[in-house]
Amino acid sequence: MNGLRVPILTRAYNERASSPSKARSVRERPSRKAAVSPFDENVLVFDTETTADVEQRLLFGTYRLYRERALVEEGVFYADDLTRADRARIRRWAIARGVACCSQRSFYWEHVLHIGQDGGLLVALNAPFDLATIMPIARPAGKRKQKGRFLGGFTLNTEWTGRDGSPKRLKHPLSVKRLNAHSSIFDIGPSGRALDVRTLYWALTNQSGSLATIADALETEHRKTSLEAYGAISDEALDYARNDTLVTAECLWKLAQEYERHPIALHPADAVSPAAIAKAYYVAMGISPLRDRFAGFPSDVAGAAFSAYYGGRVEARIVRQPVPIVKLDALSMYPTIFVLLGLWPFVIAEAIEPVEATEAVRTLLDTITYEALLDPARWKDLCAIVEIEPDGDLLPVRTTYAADCTGSSGRAPNIGLNQLHAPGERLWYALPDLVVAKLSGKAPRVLRAIRFQAGAPLKTLVEVALRGAMPVRPGDDMARLTIELRKTVASDLRLSDDERQRLDSFLKVLANSGFYGIFSQVTRDVRNGYDATYTAALAKWRTSVVERAQRMYDERMATEAPYWDALDGCGGEDHARYALRCAPETLEERGRV
Amino acid sequence: MGKCRVSSRADLAYARQHARKRFGSAACAECGQGDELTLQEFEGRVLCRRCTLLAQGLAPTEDDHPFGKRNSPRTRAMDADDHALVTALQGYWPRATQRNKHGSTMLTIAAGLRRLGNLLALLREHIDTLLSEVERMARWLERAHAYLERKLGPAWERDVPMDEDP
């Protein structure tokens, strides 16, 4: 037999050590306290301006404090290490503009600390960068921080000299951890929350943006301006920064207006993705997470289902040869498949029963044709998982497609469609994958098949209005309704263009985030720490980042400050490491890369 | 807990947020007073300071030390709710000004200025509220006048019996 010999990787199902009721996120539960909108509490919007070098040290920042959405105070804060002349310059500017003025440390003690301790929102655009700028001492977060929730992230601290002359640091520093390019989690104190305007914008629109593009999209009253020279202290730079904070605040209030249309009990700081909003809608509708409902579901069947999951993939079947093409676009592909397979009843079922269906699936595979699949009614028959012995069947294969194919190159595994031979091995696949194999060659040899039967709908289901306007009743198929509503909204002449566009955007985001990814979400449990392989990879990454940062810094200092090497002994490594971590997004935003 | 020294308005915002942690968005069960800084628990109910005193059969006023107890023994009677507000704000003065360990006249004067700042901040809140209401009422009068003029003619005011009591 010709072919590559490769190790195959499959997903596995881990049984939870703790009980399902504990696993449910507390933040998803509706608050029992009298509903005060988080936007009506103290909201502190701030922005920072830094030096233009690789270190990106704080020069100054501007802030706006709101309470019940009314501006209470506007101010500027200067870096603790500025010269007296620079501080005086900033104070003069503040007096001329009629705004408050304080030091970086005062800004923390007199504003940020209160937000963290007593409640409120700390708001910025690209918040990890701004927080790291005002709290420049970064250390990797340990396992003890919120039971490992911030592992892979950083604690942020500040330092000052105590009355006894000794250096002092906060006992409870802030924490931040990047989840992905769009969102991060923060810990700023027991009661306050940090909110990144860019994250909230992404969660509501599924689009990323900079301050300029977000402000344009939201049509704020003020827009971002430009500056001739960054990294210096001047009246122009201070006015520019003040405007940036104003624009950030206006973006926040526009997003708040949009966010509050959604009848969900999700704190806006927890809206870290479109999927988070979709999940919050499920909670609002009375749909509890599947893993909490199906405690008695057979784990071997759950394991089989997990290992049958291969996810979405893109591939070309004919390569390196020009061929004619036809452009084909599917309307809401994932939600459409979701509806065709009839999966909504499983989402709202009180229980799901696995049903043996080996003979029925064998017959289906033997008789299925392309033409039969054009009948939507046949799709519901495809909802099954099947155990096969691969024998040259065209199947998705997850492996490390490296040059030596031994899996030791360190590359991440990928999925490709291949003719798979695995004599004596038994693998589970979703039935649609086997239909593809049959239509591409031959029907695989079926050893066992399981279909699923959805029980009666949950008794906890309640009506909810999408974006406060479009009702979803307990008996409705929410996936089908979301797709159909998009068509209805597009032709509804009672709506203004603006409202139509916003409704369509929301429905599109809900459809794409609510009916696929959240059902296959895997959340790493870091309470026991990372495994050795990941820890080693993380250490290697950190070393390379630090080395690169140090090299860049040395090159710069060799030309600009040949005698400056004291930073090595003052935590420059920390600054460089974290600055480099956050720099790419910020530099890109500012058009400097 | 860090204390605010930036401005009275910011102090008020942070003081109210701190107070809100106790009773959320509750209001006085008797008079509806909603300012978090005036609320307290009395016999299982949330009441403002004023209503708490009245419930105990006492006058709704308290003796206020305008310069702070440690700066000057002078007092004046003040509405209990107003006293609760200024007392909360006084807690945000710099510690040295509050304690004034050595009886410094300069710090006493500073305390007086801080109290003045606090009062102006509270007054500004009232002014802001009144301002929006005043303008709203002016608009209402103008619209009502336009309506009556359409219905009764431009000289309708001449027919209003101004000598009679309503």
Query: Taking CB atoms and an 8 Å limit, are A36 and B20 in contact across chains?
Result: yes
- By Cβ distance, the residue of A70, A110, A118 closest to B17 is A118
Q: By mean pLDDT, which of A12-21, A28-37, A185-194, A476-485 is the weakest? A: A28-37
Distance from the B57 Cα atom to the nearest Cα atom in chain A, whole angstroms: 31
Q: Taking the C-alpha atoms of B105, B109, B111 and B112 in order, what is their torsion angle to the nearest 10 degrees?
A: 140
Mean pLDDT within A528-547:
61
Instruction: Identify which of A238-242, A488-492, B17-21, B120-124 has the greatest average pLDDT.
Output: A238-242
Q: Is A71 on the interface with B (CB under 8 A)?
A: no
**pLDDT score recorded for residue A582:** 43
- What percent of chain A is modeled with pLDDT above 70? 81
pLDDT surpasses 60 at A200 = yes
Distance from the A100 Cα atom to the nearest Cα atom in chain B, whole angstroms: 7
Q: By mean pLDDT, which of A445-449, A500-504, A568-572, B16-20 is the weakest? A: A568-572
Task: Collect all residues of chain B within an 8 Å Cβ-Cβ radius of residue A77.
Answer: none
Between A274-284 and A197-205, two packed helices, what is the crossing angle to 10 degrees?
70
Task: Collect all residues of chain A within an 8 Å Cβ-Cβ radius of residue B21.
Answer: 118-119, 191
Q: How far apart are CA A28 and CA A11, in angstroms?
A: 27
- By Cβ distance, the residue of B9, B21, B24 closest to A118 is B21
pLDDT in tens, A98-151: 999 999 999 998 899 999 999 999 999 999 999 999 998 888 887 666 667 887
- By Cβ distance, the residue of A70, A114, A119 closest to B4 is A114
The burial of B28, by beta-carbon neighbours within 10 Å (0-12 exposed, 13-18 middle, 19 or more buried), is given as buried
Q: What does the block give as tokens for A49?
A: 């301006």
Query: Taking CB atoms and an 8 Å limit, are A65 and B10 in contact across chains?
Result: yes
pLDDT in tens, A307-332: 998 876 667 778 889 999 888 887 77
pLDDT in tens, B109-154: 999 999 999 998 889 888 888 888 898 899 999 999 999 999 999 8
Q: How far apart are CA A118 and CA B130, in angstroms?
A: 29
**pLDDT score recorded for residue A335:** 84
| pLDDT tier for residue A576 given thresholds of 50, 70 and 90 | very low
Mean pLDDT within A206-235:
92
Task: Collect all residues of chain B within an 8 Å Cβ-Cβ radius of residue A114.
Answer: 2, 4, 14, 17-18
Query: Taking CB atoms and an 8 Å limit, are A117 and B25 in contact across chains?
Result: no
This model of the complex carries an ipTM of 0.74
Mean pLDDT within A375-386:
90
Mean pLDDT within A469-479:
88
Return the residue of B nearest to A107 by Cα: B6
Q: Is A111 on the interface with B (CB under 8 A)?
A: yes
**pLDDT score recorded for residue A570:** 33
| pLDDT tier for residue A299 given thresholds of 50, 70 and 90 | confident
Interface test with B, best of A43, A67, A107, A172 (most B CBs within 10 A): A67
Report pTM.
0.79
Mean pLDDT within A291-296:
76
Q: Is A98 on the interface with B (CB under 8 A)?
A: no
Q: Is A102 on the interface with B (CB under 8 A)?
A: yes
**pLDDT score recorded for residue A575:** 37
Query: Strand, coil or helix: what is A99?
Result: coil
- Determine contact, residues A274/A202, Cβ cutoff 8 Å: yes
Query: Taking CB atoms and an 8 Å limit, are A34 and B26 in contact across chains?
Result: yes
